[in-house]
Amino acid sequence: MPYEVWSVKLTRLLSIWYKQLVDSGYDYDSVADQLGIEPPFWDIVGRLRNPLLKQAFHELTFYQRVWILKSLCDNCMVS
């Protein structure tokens, strides 16, 4: 899959996660539990909005990229 396609899909998925966060009234722990990810995700990747809306995946910090990929794996294991 080309990087551009993967990047769009990743941005959409993270936007869904952030929409769940907004819908829950920013209950970080509850949403993390629903998604099967760890609560520190929000502190590392971003607490208020999807960082991929302003930056490409490769422009994020290494730590943010690792946490996004880890959380994708965690989410896959739960669903």
CA angle 49, 75, 7 (to 5 degrees): 55
Whole-number pLDDT of residue 79: 82
State residue 76 phi and psi, 5-degree precision.
Answer: -65, -40
Instruction: Convert the pLDDT of each residue in 38-59 to its tens digit.
Output: 999 999 999 999 999 999 999 9
pTM recorded for the entire structure: 0.92
Tell me if 31 sits within 8 A of 20, measured CB to CB.
Answer: yes
Nearest to 17 by CA among 56, 47, 61: 47
Query: Domain locations in the chain?
Result: 3-78
Summarize pLDDT for 15-40 with one digit per residue, the tens. Answer: 999 999 999 999 999 999 999 999 99
Average pLDDT over residues 67-73: 97
